[in-house]
Chain A
Amino acid sequence: MNDFPRWKYAIVVVVLLLGVLYGVPNLYVQQPAVQVNPNRGATIDLALKEKVQGMLEKAKIPFERIDLNNDQLMVRLPIGATDEQGKALEAIKAELGDQYVVAPNLASTVPGWMRAIGAREMPKGLDLQGGVHFLMEVDDKDVLEKQLQRYSDDIRSALRDKNIRYQSVGRGPQGVVVQLRSAEDRDAALSTIQSKVPDVVVSNGAQVGDSYTLNASVKPEKIREIALNTIRQNQATLSNRINALGVAEPLIQQQGETRIAVELPGVQDTAEAKKVLGAQATLEYHAVDTDGDAFEAMRSGIVPPDDKLYYMRQRAPDGSKVPILLKKKIIVSGDEMVDASSQPDPQSGSPAVSVVLNANGGRKMLDFTTQNVGKPMAVLFIERTPETKIVDGKEVRSTKVTEEVISSARINGVFSTRFQTTGLGSNKEASDLALLLRSGSLAAPTDIVEERVIGPSLGKENIQKGIYAVLLGLGAVLVFMAFYYWLFGLIADLALFFNLVLLLAIMSAIGVTLTMPGIAGIVLTLGMAIDANVLICERVREELRNGSTPLAAIRAGYDKAWATILDANVTHLLAALALMTLGSGAIRGFGVTLFIGILTSMFTSVTVTHAVTNLIHGGKKKLKGLSIGSGYTRGATA
């Protein structure tokens, strides 16, 4: 019989070879490394490489080699040198300063030609391999301050509504201080504030002359709520940023009252992640004050009351700063952007960010542009960069705020929610900015206060136990199948082995992060993949029982089992698909494993076994029996 065409054999062979090729990188061990990426304005070149090399040699820190590619340095340390990695990190950081982002990493040792064809090792999750840990401190002082401002406004309007006259409502050391003219006013104000602004506690303060004071302080539970909301929003923003970078399976966790721990699995662009985590950049759109003289304001220091003096990023040809006077009022800011993407300006080809505003921002922009066609509008770029200095042997952290006008252009037409901003230094800067704008702003300044390499959260012993269990389980299935279905069982075993290779190869090629639940998912997939072979074998047996000839039994067995296998697997695929698209983190990885596993098992369990079965039986003209379990080896002894 030859119902199995030659091209199908060819496909089987090609797929299996590819499977082996793309599976092999997983056998290479990763080495500890330190990665250096440039900040804005800095460059990575040979001179820098030599500088780092010389410094490491002088400090007697062992390293294997330093790779320079894609605008980054990768300092590779010997495998297992985790203690030295910390030293190297500190040393390089001290040497290079704030111009560069220096982060610990794990570097792949897969040969270049394999990487070139996309063959790489599967990234392993935090539980199996560990990764990099960043501790971020959230500074919520600003947020509280803003909230107090809001309460002052609320108190003012509440008093005005009730016609209670007050001298002043202002910021005191503990909260808001209200000055009133009489004791009656004070009593009335007290009850008004208590009922209208329930988030504050009001108490009588000192009486000085004719001035009666009320002290309003924010309720402690409200302060806690504000702090909690701040940290929650920051956590969400950080997680958006990490996801936007494409880092798989990160851990983002609140730690204590004011800190957020971010852990990223190894072999990823940790320096880039660090840059994005700590970065705070946003845009603000302001009207340009065309009446004021910016140069005069710069010289005299006298700025019109509604304006603020800024400088253009682009300097004058002679290198001097170009001042510009902007109206203080913000038209729209980064908070009102719902989407941002970087693409070169279609006309000039210069780097640009396209932004989409929310409805409120769009309305404000429309109003402004309608009234100001022909007048200039400026784009203010605001960046906060954390700085670390060593003062008296102690690390002192501060933040540098850069405010630059990146573009100032005449409004040519009316626009609202969608527009483009140019004036950025490079495409990289444009895409970084777009990422930050897209992932939402941080509610409060957040700085990295600690960064370290962490080991696997599961521990060596547990990982080994897990792997041992996987092998034991598979071994048991293999033996059981061979024992129960004889030759057909052995063929199924062979297919199962190839299923594992293929599954690993595809997972590696598309970069699924391997975690312990993922490994469990692989085992489960393999355990269930055998189901297809069980279905086929049982069908073949049934056919034999009904009196079919061996070859007809094989053909009918595969034919009839196929419909069942298809239905069973498609429903199972639907289940996996839902896990994959709707679950997050570990669940998604598990779903992906299951999904790929079902697809590969359909190929190996049906096509591969069919090919092998035909190869063995198809050539024989007169087949007397099949080796598919004791009761059915008919003719074998005859």
Chain B
Amino acid sequence: MELFNPNSKIDFLGGRKVSIVISALLVLASLGLLATRGLNYALDFTGGVLVEAKFEEPVQTDQVRAALEAGGFHNAQVQSVGGTREVSIRLQPTEEQKDAEVVGRDVIAAIKQQRADVSLKRHPDLVGSSVGAELRNDGIVAAVFVMLGIMIYIGIRFEKRFAIAAIASEIHDTILTLGFFSLTQLEFDLTVLAALLAVIGYSINDKVVVFDRVRELFRLARKAEPYEILNKAINQTLSRTIMTSLTTSLTMFALYFVGGPAVHGFGLTMLVGIVIGTLSSIFFANPILYWLGVSKTDLMPVTRENPELARRP
């Protein structure tokens, strides 16, 4: 079976001005959204209210969760405590119910709809964030280091223009994915943060495969016209680009649609990231590479540097 024409000759670079302008506008829009609306941080980051409830008869946490869901408390974290008759419930209060007492009363009322034997174990408490501000900062530091490391590696293995193009598109992808979360105001929790950082990994993977082909074609070609080489590289790797994004998407679709609330956000972030990352490899990274003026001579010395790589199976 063959999904794609192996000899496709689509002129991807032809629309570079349009695609770069669109990318730039999207980045600006995302930054604007992040500045004005920000992200909808989840319980992990903001902290919330802790309500402890006790029951006369043993209770399943899933039952409590369902009761809360029915009562309008979404994304509550329900945990059994010390056996089967007590649960602790952590949730993010809405705007109207800033008071822990009020939240506690409402929560118990909601559970009472399904379990009459529930009562409040003690005064509800405000709880702090579980990850704290340092994680948010760690996340940013991690992202910066990821990008620096990648830049240095690509700079050594390829050439500095490739490194610049890669990092520019990494920043582009990250900002756009964040912009998506700001636009939709979907919950931004720890798993989403993890997925966001994984998007960086996925996206760079994708770009390196295309860059690799660009390098190979430059070295093989006798008359190396950058425009044609870049187009050819995208076309030749197109089938692989789409195949890999398809297989990765398959797993992420499963997480998104049937994985339940715990991995829902992860799946969605990756799916958005895969789309953005794949498109940016073609329509953002390569036009930048072209404009930076990559040429055959830039890539030649590297071959002699690493003769043992060619020998590897």
Contact = CB atoms under 8 A, between A and B. Distances in A.
Interface string A17-49: 000000000000000000000000000000000
Contact of A473 (B83, B154, B246, B251): B251
7 contacts: A452-B81, A452-B82, A466-B259, A476-B251, A517-B190, A582-B138, A587-B193
Task: Give the secondary structure class of B's interface.
Answer: helix
Contact of B250 (A454, A477, A578, A607): A477
Given A462-B261, A477-B251, 18 more contacts: A4-B313, A82-B80, A82-B84, A253-B128, A457-B78, A461-B260, A480-B247, A520-B266, A524-B248, A524-B251, A526-B251, A574-B153, A578-B145, A579-B146, A583-B138, A584-B138, A585-B135, A590-B197
Nearest to A260: B128
Interface string B111-127: 00000000000000111
Contacts of B267: 469, 520
Given A480-B246, A538-B239, A587 B212 contact: no
Interface in A103-148: 127, 130, 133
A594 B253 contact: no
B310 interface: yes
Nearest to B149: A574
Contacts of A251: 130
Contact of A523 (B1, B239, B251): B251
B194 to A, nearest CB: 4
A129 to B, nearest CB: 11
B139 interface: yes
Given A253-B128, A535-B209, A578-B149, A130 B79 contact: yes
B191 A517 contact: yes
Interface in A142-186: none
B1 A574 contact: no
- By size class, the interface of chain A is 35 or more
Given A83-B84, A538-B239, A575-B197, A562 B313 contact: yes
A453 interface: yes
A630 interface: yes
B81 to A, nearest CB: 5
B254 A582 contact: no
Interface of A: 3-4, 82-83, 85-86, 127, 130, 133, 251-256, 259, 261, 452-463, 465-466, 468-470, 472-474, 476-477, 480-481, 483-484, 516-517, 519-521, 523-524, 526-528, 530-531, 534-535, 538, 541-542, 545, 558-560, 562-564, 566-572, 574-579, 582-587, 590-591, 594, 606-607, 610, 629-631
A528 B194 CA distance: 16
Contacts of B138: 582-584, 587
Contact of A86 (B83, B248, B249): B83
Contact of B194 (A457, A470, A520, A562): A520
**For chain B, which range describes its interface: under 10, 10 to 19, 20 to 34, or 35 or more residues?**
35 or more
A484 B209 contact: no
A590 B6 contact: no
B225 to A, nearest CB: 22
A582 to B, nearest CB: 4
Contacts of B257: 469
Contacts of A468: 258-259
Contacts of A474: 251
A571 B153 contact: yes
Contact of B252 (A473, A483, A562): A473
A269 to B, nearest CB: 20
A473 B312 contact: no
B279 to A, nearest CB: 17
B255 A473 contact: yes
Contacts of A538: 239-240, 243
B8 interface: no
A586 B194 contact: yes
Contact of A133 (B81, B135, B191): B81
B106 to A, nearest CB: 19
B93 interface: no
B42 interface: no
Contacts of B178: none
B157 interface: yes
A481 B251 CA distance: 13
Contact of A254 (B61, B128, B259): B128
A460 B61 contact: yes
Contacts of B95: none
A567 B206 CA distance: 11
Contacts of B149: 574-575, 577-578
Contact of B247 (A82, A86, A252, A530): A530
A575 B146 contact: yes
A523 B249 CA distance: 11
B103 interface: no
A545 B6 contact: yes
A571 B154 contact: yes
A610 B313 contact: yes
B90 to A, nearest CB: 8
Contact of A567 (B60, B212, B243, B270): B212
B13 to A, nearest CB: 21
Interface string B74-103: 000111111111001000000000000000
Nearest to B239: A538
A611 to B, nearest CB: 10
B309 A566 contact: yes
Nearest to A629: B1
Contacts of B194: 517, 520-521, 579, 586-587, 590
A462 B139 contact: no
Contacts of A466: 255, 259-260, 262-263
Contacts of B3: 484
Nearest to B85: A83
A606 B313 CA distance: 8
A83 B83 contact: yes
